[in-house]
Each structure stands twice: as C-alpha cells, then as structure tokens.
A = this chain, B = another copy of it.
Amino acid sequence: MTTITVPASQGRAVRVAKGQKLRITTPKGAQAADFFAFNAENVGEWLSCPHTWVTSFCIKPREGDVFLSRFRRPMLRFVKDGANGVHDMMIAACDQFRYEFFGHHHPHASCSDNLQSAMRREGYEVSVIPQPVNFFTNTQIDAQSRLVSPPNPVAPGAFVEMEALMDVICVISSCPFDLPVEGWPINSAQGVTELLLDVQ
C-alpha cells in the first residue's frame, strides 16, 4: 500500500492502476477534497461530472455509482462512502478569480493551480479545468434551485474509497478556501487541513 499526505491547501497526483483502490481520508474532518481523474493513457479523457450525473440521474455520488469520462466511459467506481453522502459535484474548482470574487485581491492558492502543478509534475499541461467531484463538501440545492452550502459536518477520519476501472491519474486537492464568507463555509472554521491518500 502506498500512502501519500496531501498537505493543507496543496494538491497531489497519484497513479491508480485498473483494479486498484484509492482511499481519500480527511483526518481532521470537514476538509473539502477536490478530485479530478484522467485516463493515464490519454489525459484528454477526464472524469466529467455532467456526464456522470446524467447517467446516474443523481447529482450526488452514491456508493456503487460509476464516475464516467467526458466520452461516457467508466473510469472509477465509488465503492465505499465513509462520509454519509456529504459530497458535491457542482462547485467549480476554485481559482484566483474565485477569491477575487469574494474580495481577496492578493494571490491565493487554489484547487485549479493545485491541479495544474500536480499534473505538470506528471509531465502534462492541463489547459481545461474539469468540474471536480468535491468530496467532504456540503452543498445542497434548495426548492428554489439555489445552491447553498451549510456548515461542513464531516467527521474526523471520514473517507471515500474508489476502484479504478481503467488506469488513471488522479489529482486530489486540499481545497484552500479559507475566506470567512457568510453562508459559504466550505471547510472547517478551524482552517484548511491535510488529506490522506491510500492506494492498494
């Protein structure tokens, strides 16, 4: 088994061979994990949330669901949900402009930058930021179709486990969102924390 720590506000790429399992854990709880996956043989094929939910007919990932690529091919199966379904597939990966939108006008770490850096370490330039699966992220769509984000209830040690259905390069970002935005507390009020990755 390979274990990798994703430091708070950083990202890491990890290769997961077909049949292997990837577990992502939030040791301290309530830490959003932005998750991206690419076909290891062709990084032009990536996990697509819209293609996934229009096939699962559910905007939340559930145990047993299969994450599809933008070509609608099976990439990973969500085999175990140790976080009670508190996940999101709607929030675009944060980037510098997102922080500026919330009034932060200095450079800020972001999931988009983390993705691009992690993939460069693997030898690839990613020029399109896919819609991530945001594990351990508490969003809901209310009756007026509004996107709301109540406080994050994910417990320390919560995890998700996926099985690769093709050889994939996965990127996991510890979402650096730390602005005190009323009604939009993505992570714990105690700050951004690390994630753990286990591949076996």
> Footprint of B on A, CB under 8 Å?
44, 48-51, 53-55, 57-60, 70-72, 90-92, 95, 97-98, 101, 127-129, 131, 141, 144-148
Contact = CB atoms under 8 A, between A and B. Distances in A.
A91 B54 contact: yes
A72 B60 CA distance: 24
A92 B50 contact: yes
A72 B97 contact: yes
> How many monomers of this protein are in the complex?
2
A131 B92 CA distance: 12
B90 A54 contact: yes
A50 B147 contact: no
A146 B72 contact: no
A51 B48 CA distance: 15
